[in-house]
Amino acid sequence: MVLPGWSCSAPPSAAAGRTVYETPYLWSDTLQPRRLMIIGDLQPTTWFEEKLLRRSQNDSVRDRMIERVVNEDPDLLLLLGDQVGVGEREDEWVKFDSLMAPICRHDIPTYAIMGNHDYGLLGSSGIEHCALRFPRVAVLPSLVLLADSVALVVVDSNLETLPDRLREHQEKRYREILKRLDRSPSIRGVIVASHHPPYTNADLPINPAVRETFVPPFMEAKKTLLFLSGHIHSYERFEIDGKTFVVSGGGGGPRRKVDTSAARPHTTDQYRRGIWRYHHYVDLQIRPEGIRGEVHMLLGEEFRLGDGFALRWNVK
């Protein structure tokens, strides 16, 4: 399935003119996956966080996440950003490659989104390391066609890092793509994914431009159903005017507290189980009647179903 007037061809290699990294990460624009496993924030805890802020280092959690993906063998592994702790350091990406080696050995297709840690702490030099492994991170925004006439639109929410030219280009194309998908008779559902969430009740400030840029077109579009994001090392789910916003940052970064009080910023939250949520992943399945999401949380040594949601097509 190819939309009229839209090319899904792969972007030029980010390694042009330099030593080419022979990426082991499997990807093809023709995949059209039906089942996606979604993990946000696999990043190790940084030295500063661990030593000075006394936050936990969760290597065993990351190992269990990757082991689970291999055992479940999804059609696509979608990483919601912050694959590493310090993006400009090549040794961090080498450790990430080691963690992901079982995924590569089992030929599980993988798609990654740029997180703020992936860009790096001192600027944007980390994108070179990420783009050599996942070339599509350089495409703003990116369109991925899923099974059964579902489209995934991936945006870069690192708006403070992007040059003005790229930020403006992305916003314009984002709006154009959503309008084009609304008009396309071959598309019946749209998912948007970013690293930073437009809504959260966690104690971590989010640039308001993320919500101002991406939410109005999402809400105006007829076929948009789900907005996926990470960044917050916790799990949240919001329902706003019939559309679902899921925050999934439970891949192994140090957990963050979520406000559940009556004074919390956003009261449309549908999941309110505790201020500390377990590490987790989202199992997203495209079904004839719509999209089914299951959130599996790591309790001790076992994954257990912690939340679920069902989304039906807005347009028949």
Tens digit of each residue's pLDDT (9 = 90 or more) over 131-146: 999 999 999 999 999 9
Residues 260-287 have a mean pLDDT of 97
Asked if 115 and 41 count as a contact pair (C-beta separation under 8 A), the reply is yes
Whether 202 has a pLDDT exceeding 60, the answer reads yes
pLDDT at 5: 36
Whether 269 has a pLDDT exceeding 70, the answer reads yes
Three-class SS string for the chain?
CCCCCCCCCCCCCCCCCCCCCCCCCCCCCCCCCCEEEEECCCCCCCHHHHHCCCCCCCHHHHHHHHHHHHHHCCCEEEECCCCCCCCCCHHHHHHHHHHHHHHHHCCCCEEECCCHHHHCCCCCCHHHHHHHHCHHHHCCCEEEEECCCEEEEECCCCCCCCCHHHHHHHHHHHHHHHHHHHHCCCCCEEEEECCCCCCCCECCCCCHHHHHHHHHHHHHCCCEEEEEECCCCCEEEEEECCEEEEEECCCCCCCCEECCCCCCCCCCECCCCCCECCCEEEEEEEECCEEEEEEEEEECCEEEEEEEEEEECCCC
| CA distances in angstroms from 143 to 21, 47, 297, listed in the order given | 24, 36, 29
Whether 268 has a pLDDT exceeding 60, the answer reads yes
Burial of 293 (0-12, 13-18, 19+ CB in 10 A): buried
pLDDT at 314: 84
Percent of the chain with pLDDT over 70: 89
- From the list 220, 238, 221, the residue with the least C-alpha distance to 229 is 238
Domain coordinates in residue numbering, the chain: 35-312
Whether 83 has a pLDDT exceeding 50, the answer reads yes
Q: What is the spatial distance between Cα 291 and Cα 306, in angstroms, rounded to a whole number?
A: 17
pLDDT at 13: 40
Residues 210-235 have a mean pLDDT of 98
Residue with tokens 């350089």: 138
Q: What is the spatial distance between Cα 234 and Cα 40, in angstroms, rounded to a whole number?
A: 9
Q: What is the spatial distance between Cα 138 and Cα 240, in angstroms, rounded to a whole number?
A: 30
Percent of the chain with pLDDT over 90: 82
pLDDT band at 52 (very low <50, low <70, confident <90, very high): low
pLDDT at 18: 40
Asked if 81 and 114 count as a contact pair (C-beta separation under 8 A), the reply is yes
Average pLDDT, the chain: 90
pLDDT at 215: 98
Torsion of CA 201, 269, 221, 147, to 10 degrees: 100
The HSE-up count of residue 49 (CA atoms within 13 Å, CB side) is 15
pLDDT at 51: 57
Distance of CA 87 to the CA centre of its chain: 17
pLDDT band at 47 (very low <50, low <70, confident <90, very high): low
Residues 238-263 have a mean pLDDT of 96
| CA distances in angstroms from 172 to 20, 213, 235, listed in the order given | 31, 10, 30
The tokens describing 69, both together, are: 């993906």
The tokens describing 127, both together, are: 């994108």
pLDDT at 144: 96
Domain spanning 35-312 has what CATH number? 3.60.21.10
Whether 88 has a pLDDT exceeding 70, the answer reads yes
pLDDT band at 19 (very low <50, low <70, confident <90, very high): very low
pLDDT at 214: 98
pLDDT at 12: 37
Q: What is the spatial distance between Cα 237 and Cα 6, in angstroms, rounded to a whole number?
A: 32
